[in-house]
């Protein structure tokens, strides 16, 4: 059985939150976002190897939060770089070539177990798996002063975790940074690999603004009601 790894990227500085506290440390129902994002992977597989990528200057803050919330998961802390690309590249150094690795945004605390299970399963068969959600709104493409409608049925919102055969994604990351790299799949795609899309969960939003925290709190209440 292939060993499972998860790289959790947590390099945000909270700029768009207009807060001195990095967004990955902000509280959702009393706990830092990052704790939720890590915990769901440990629930998926207690044996999974967690690699947490943090800015060096945030490591002490993370340790204090772990102590406060009695959260002591077995993980490796790796220092990030100037962009998410560099941070992931640093994290991949901890992953053996024959593993399956999930790369997940630390500010996506509501990823479901089903999404994680599905991504690892598909990646083990095809070499990668990228979760995505349908778009319900109408979408238009801007072209200068003009715009045109786009068929939303052919569009998807891409999520994480994005799962890969480690040898393939590590080889893909052996390139120089390019601003066109918007996610890990875009890096792999340059090697000619086919990207495999799988269904994500709609609650798996990325916390970017303060409004997102409000939405995430409501979604968490909703999910708890469904479980009861």
Asked if 50 and 38 count as a contact pair (C-beta separation under 8 A), the reply is: yes
Q: What is the pLDDT of residue 1?
A: 75
Whether pLDDT at 17 is above 70: no
Residue 171 belongs to some domain of the structure:
yes
Task: Share the mean pLDDT of the chain.
Answer: 94
Asked if 98 and 3 count as a contact pair (C-beta separation under 8 A), the reply is: yes
Residue 135 belongs to some domain of the structure:
no
Residue 100 belongs to some domain of the structure:
yes
Whether pLDDT at 159 is above 70: yes
Residue 17 belongs to domain with CATH number: 3.90.550.10
Identify the sign of the CA torsion 118, 124, 126, 132.
positive
Q: What is the pLDDT of residue 22?
A: 85
Whether pLDDT at 13 is above 70: no
Q: Which domain holds residue 168?
A: 4-130+157-227
Residues in the chain: 228
Residue 152 belongs to some domain of the structure:
no
Residue 149 belongs to some domain of the structure:
no
Residue 148 belongs to some domain of the structure:
no
CA distance 36 to 5: 17
Q: Tens of pLDDT along 114-158?
A: 999 999 999 999 999 999 999 999 999 999 999 999 999 999 999
Residue 91 belongs to some domain of the structure:
yes
Residue 43 belongs to some domain of the structure:
yes
Domain count within the chain: 1
Whether pLDDT at 49 is above 60: yes
Question: Which among 132, 120, 139 has a CA at the least distance from the CA of 41?
Answer: 120
């Amino acid at each position: 059985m292939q060993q499972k790894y998860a790289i959790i990227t947590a390099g945000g500085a909270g700029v768009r939150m207009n807060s001195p506290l990095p967004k990955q440390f902000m509280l959702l129902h009393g706990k830092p976002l990052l704790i939720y994002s890590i915990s769901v992977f440990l629930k998926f597989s207690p044996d999974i190897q967690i690699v947490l990528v943090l800015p060096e200057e945030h490591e002490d803050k993370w340790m204090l939060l772990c102590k406060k919330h009695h959260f002591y998961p077995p993980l490796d802390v790796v220092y990030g770089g100037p962009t998410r690309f560099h941070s992931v590249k640093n994290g991949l150094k901890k992953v053996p070539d024959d593993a399956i690795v999930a790369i997940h945004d630390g500010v996506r605390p509501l990823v479901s177990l089903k999404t994680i299970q599905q991504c690892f399963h598909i990646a083990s068969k095809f070499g990668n798996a990228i979760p995505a959600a349908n778009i319900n709104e109408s979408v238009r493409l801007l072209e200068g002063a003009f715009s045109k409608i786009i068929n939303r049925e052919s569009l998807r919102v891409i999520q994480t975790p994005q799962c890969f055969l480690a040898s393939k994604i590590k080889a893909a990351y052996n390139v120089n940074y390019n601003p066109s790299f918007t996610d890990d799949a875009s890096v792999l795609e340059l090697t000619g690999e086919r990207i495999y899309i799988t269904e994500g969960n709609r609650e798996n939003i990325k916390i970017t603004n303060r409004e997102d925290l409000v939405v995430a709190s409501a979604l968490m209440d909703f999910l708890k009601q469904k479980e009861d």
